Copies of this chain bind each other. A is one copy, B any other.
């Protein structure tokens, strides 16, 4: 029987990044295509110690069914942590533990958007979230960015032209894929626009703690007195992505609906990993741990930037991120970016073509590609950038 799929899913393709990730299984390929934390960033001994204790002393608690909202001690700890460190959470808010921030994004769309509703996002934006939105048949509208974040005038125009907009999806810190950080001024402007147009802001902040340069900028959620911001965070970049633990802070009514959606999806997030996250934060100096990660990524980012300055054609532009895992290179206007990416693979270096991050490949185009510096070793960064540099000098 030839399956007839639901309209919402029929046209959706597997993420280009994940497909490239598979092809990079070749050990000869230097991959700048992933988004994995550095192997040295995992506090493996601490996790092993906590895990062993849990599974020896109270195994049933870690193995039995649990409640959809999440492990209560972790929820309480995260609420306090987000309030203390970022002034996130008002009396009208609640917090749910989810299976990675990805699930927070997917469920937010599921509970808020009917098919045909509009979601406005940065262009380019994170492919996983874009596919989550597409999987509910929404109309995706992309708004360009400057070096300090989304273009406010274009955003206002998009809101006016799409009165059925339900969600503005934004990654204000070290955006994936661009590495751009939104200024405080723009965060405030975005908030006012959302308020004016009756639209929710979905603030995705998986990299926020990985700032290694510049000054912290308050999250949009930190000034949410009106209950219009849904904030997604994650343990993936600060502890372990394989655990699949994230969290969503939003007005209670929205969290209640996300609980219902999650109940029908995976019942609850793996409970062992929730306990690990809680105990790690309780027993260890989390702030100190984060500082260690910042040093790792600062070093790797600088190494890549130094290589680019030295090796790349001066006609290739690039962003200079203040944190996170990615930087974004842009070839001269009119360049054949896909040809460059293919040649890179021939030279055994994998990058992600910018087209993967377009809200709609038919409506938008790009000559950019994404580089990740968190996963490769120092040697791979130096050698891979050398190879890419040679290509850019030959081609542009």
Chain A contacts to B: CB under 8 angstroms: 1-9, 12-15, 18, 21-22, 34-37, 39, 42, 44, 47-48, 51-52, 55-56, 59-60, 62-68, 99-100, 102-103, 106, 110-115, 117, 128, 131-132, 135-136, 195, 198, 200, 226-228, 236, 240-244, 251, 253-254, 256-257, 259-261, 263-273
- Assess the B131–A257 pair: CB atoms within 8 A: no
Residue in contact with A42 in the complex, picked from B60, B131, B241, B242, CB distance below 8 Å:
B60
Q: How far is the CB of A112 from chain B (nearest CB, A)?
A: 6
A261:B99 contact, CB within 8 angstroms: no
Rounded to whole Å, the gap between the CB of A246 and the closest CB of chain B is: 9
Sample of 11 further A-B pairs with CB below 8 A, known A14-B259, A52-B55, A103-B266 = A7-B114, A9-B260, A44-B59, A48-B59, A64-B242, A102-B265, A102-B266, A131-B263, A131-B264, A132-B264, A132-B265
Distance of A51 Cα from B14 Cα, bound (Å): 32
Q: Measured between C-beta atoms, what is the minimum distance from A223 to chain B in Å?
A: 15
Minimum C-beta distance from A82 to chain B (A): 21
Let me know if A244 and B268 touch, CB within 8 A: yes
Q: Do the beta carbons of A9 and B63 come within 8 Å of each other?
A: no
Q: Measured between alpha carbons, how far is A44 from B64 in the docked complex, in Å?
A: 11
* Option from B1, B48, B68, B244 in Cβ contact (under 8 Å) with A269: B244
Q: Which residues of chain B come closer than 8 Å to A9, judged between CB atoms? A: 110-111, 257, 260-261
In angstroms, Cα B136 to Cα A9, docked, is 12
B103 close to A265 (CB less than 8 A): yes
In the bound complex, CA of A254 to CA of B47 (Å): 37
CA A279 to CA B66, docked complex, whole Å: 24
Nearest opposing residue in chain B for A130, CB measure: B264
A21 to B266: give the CA distance in the assembly, Å: 17
A196 nearest CB across to chain B (Å): 11
A3 touches B44 (CB 8 A): no
In the bound complex, CA of A13 to CA of B100 (Å): 24
The answer to whether B63 touches A55 (Cβ under 8 A) is no
In the complex, chain B residues whose CB is within 8 Å of the CB of A6: 110-114, 117, 136
Pick the residue among B5, B55, B111 that contacts A48 (CB under 8 A): B55
Across the interface, name the chain B residue whose C-beta is closest to A246: B266
Which one, B39, B267, B268, B271, contacts A60 given CB within 8 A?
Answer: B39
> Would A110 and B128 count as touching, CB distance under 8 A?
no
Q: Which of B42, B55, B100, B244 contacts A47 (CB 8 A)?
A: B55
User: Which B residues are CB-close (under 8 A) to A200?
Assistant: 1, 3
**Once the chains bind, are A263 and B14 in contact (CB under 8 Å)?**
yes
A234, chain B: closest CB distance, angstroms: 11
* Distance of A300 Cα from B253 Cα, bound (Å): 40
Residues from chain B with a CB closer than 8 A to the CB of A39 are 60, 64
Do B47 and A63 have beta carbons less than 8 Å apart?
A: yes
> Which chain B residue shows the least CB distance to A39?
B60
Known pairs A198-B1, A267-B128; A64 contacts B240 (CB<8 A): yes
**Which of A6, A8, A136, A253 has the largest count of B CB atoms less than 10 A from its CB?**
A6
Whether A100 pairs with B267 at a CB distance below 8 angstroms is: yes
Which 5 A/B pairs are nearest by Cβ-Cβ distance? A48-B55, A44-B59, A63-B240, A242-B271, A132-B264
